[in-house]
Each structure stands twice: as structure tokens, then as C-alpha cells.
């Protein structure tokens, strides 16, 4: 299994995520981190991290300029060598059994046409905003499962290649997750929910960041989903 992580100007939280990957009970074959044109010291950190010894293959890629999370993840898909690709974000922390829960999930074999699974997203710290996100399961797959959220998701690489990966037209986080799932649904694929697949997400604490997040989600989803919705198949 490969793990793909896009990052942009979040060096402190990225280091925290990497540390959580280093202590997993079961390790992936490789971890691919795409630096999407960060202006902090992310590039220097990743260059050093790639040279260090790990229990997995460490792969990094540095974009000169930011191209957006969709484009960054597509680079990661191309660099990943495993048939199974897990996604998370640089403001998350993975549970120690995250990889094991993905690989051992019965959903892969018990349901037809499953192309990807998503899991539970818990708050890293308490607060009214994180409680709102958690109560409404905003970063988890909706029920019925019509799309996955890449804060905590895993796909079969063959499906990602078949639909040319994420939409790159929208440069900000929001919408590319739905767009990918709709393209896959249009091919007849389905998605599953694995309750033991757990990550912690570090939500922003200010109301301004809360409103900005939902604005980006809404705008991104509107732009991307409209391109795929009419032909999407949820059966």
C-alpha cells in the first residue's frame, strides 16, 4: 500500500503527521509527500526526511508553484507503485492501526465493484468548531456513500488511472473529492465505509477560518460536481 499526502505551508502539522506514520503498527510500502509550492521550510524538511532511514520507502516531490491539492494528489498517484493508495492530509494524524484497518477491511471482498473506502474522522482538539464538524460527520463519507473524503480514504489505483485522477481545475481544497467519486460512480464503481479506519483532524479554531472553509467547499463542489453529476451512477 502507498500513502499519498499533499502539503502546502503547514510544516508543523506535516511533521506531526509524519511522526504518526513512523509509529504505525503495520507500515505501508511507501509514503509519497507532494510539496505543492510551499513558501515555508517544507522543501528543506522533506529533502532531509527523504534521506533518513524509515520502515517504508520515502518519496517526495516539490512543485515550484502551487497547483492545488487535486494536481498534487495526481502527481502522488503517478509516483505511487502500489495497487492500493491511501490518502490523508497534512493537518491530520493517523491511528496506529490505520494501515491494518484498510488492508484487512472485509469490504474489499464482500461488496461488488468497490473501488474505495473511507473511514472515521475524529477531532484532534476540542472546541465548538471541531464538535460541529464531528457531529455532522462533514469529513466522513455521507450515507448512502456517494463520495469519499481524502482526509481519510483509500482507492484501488486502477480506478484512479481509469478516470484520470482528480480534477485540477479548482486550485483550492474543496470539490475535488466529490468530482473524483462522481467520475468513478459513472463507471459503475461503489464505495464503502470502514469504521476501524480512523484519523484525527486538526480543525481551525476561528470563525473566520470556519466560514472560509465552507465557502471553498461550496464553490469547489459547485464547479466540479456540475461537470459530472448528470451522468453519475449511484445504483
Model pLDDT for residues 208-230, shown as the tens digit of each residue = 554 455 445 555 555 666 665 54
Q: Stretch 141-159: mean pLDDT, rounded? A: 87
Dmax over CA atoms of the chain, in Å, equals 48
7 forms bridges with which residues in the sheet?
35
- Do the Cβ atoms of 74 and 159 come closer than 8 Å? no
Asked if pLDDT for residue 141 goes beyond 90, the answer is: no
Q: Where does the pLDDT of residue 234 fall: very low under 50, low under 70, confident under 90, or very high at 90 and above?
A: very low
Each as own residue / partner, the long-range contacts of residues 53-59 (CB below 8 Å, 24 or more positions apart, any chain) are 54/22, 55/22, 55/27, 56/21, 56/27, 56/28, 56/29, 56/30, 56/31, 57/29, 57/30, 57/31, 58/30, 58/31, 58/33, 59/30, 59/31, 59/32, 59/33
Q: Which domain CATH number covers 209?
A: 3.90.550.10
Number of domains in the chain: 1
Asked if pLDDT for residue 157 goes beyond 70, the answer is: yes
User: For 88-132, what is each residue's pLDDT tens digit?
Assistant: 999 999 999 999 999 999 999 988 899 999 999 998 777 655 564
CA–CA distance, 91 with 10 (Å, rounded to integer): 8
Domain that holds residue 35: 2-231
Amino acid at each position: 500500500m502507498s500513502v499519498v499526502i499533499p502539503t502546502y505551508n503547514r510544516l508543523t502539522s506535516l511533521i506531526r503527521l509524519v511522526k504518526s506514520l513512523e509509529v504505525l503498527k503495520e507500515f505501508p510500502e511507501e509514503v509519497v509527500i507532494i510539496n505543492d509550492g510551499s513558501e515555508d521550510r517544507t522543501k528543506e524538511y522533506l529533502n532531509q526526511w527523504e534521506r533518513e532511514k524509515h520502515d517504508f520507502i520515502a518519496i517526495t516531490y516539490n512543485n515550484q508553484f502551487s497547483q492545488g491539492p487535486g494536481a498534487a494528489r495526481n502527481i502522488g498517484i503517478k509516483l505511487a507503485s502500489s495497487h492500493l493508495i491511501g490518502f490523508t492530509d497534512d493537518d491530520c494524524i493517523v491511528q496506529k492501526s490505520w494501515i491494518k484497518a484498510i488492508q484487512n477491511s472485509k469490504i474489499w471482498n464482500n461488496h461488488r465493484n468497490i473501488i474505495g473506502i473511507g473511514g472515521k474522522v475524529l477531532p484532534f482538539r476540542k472546541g465548538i468548531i471541531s464538535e460541529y464538524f464531528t457531529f455532522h460527520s462533514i469529513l466522513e463519507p455521507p450515507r448512502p456513500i456517494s463520495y469519499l473524503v481524502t482526509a481519510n480514504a483509500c482507492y484501488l489505483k486502477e480506478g484512479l488511472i481509469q478516470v484520470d485522477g482528480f480534477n485540477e481545475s479548482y486550485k483550492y481544497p474543496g470539490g475535488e473529492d466529490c468530482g473524483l467519486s462522481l467520475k468513478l460512480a459513472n463507471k459503475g464503481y461503489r464505495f464503502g465505509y470502514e469504521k476501524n479506519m480512523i484519523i484525527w483532524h486538526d480543525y481551525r479554531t476561528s470563525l473566520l477560518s470556519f466560514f472560509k472553509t465552507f465557502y471553498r467547499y461550496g464553490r469547489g463542489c459547485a464547479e466540479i460536481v456540475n461537470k459530472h453529476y448528470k451522468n453519475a451512477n449511484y445504483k
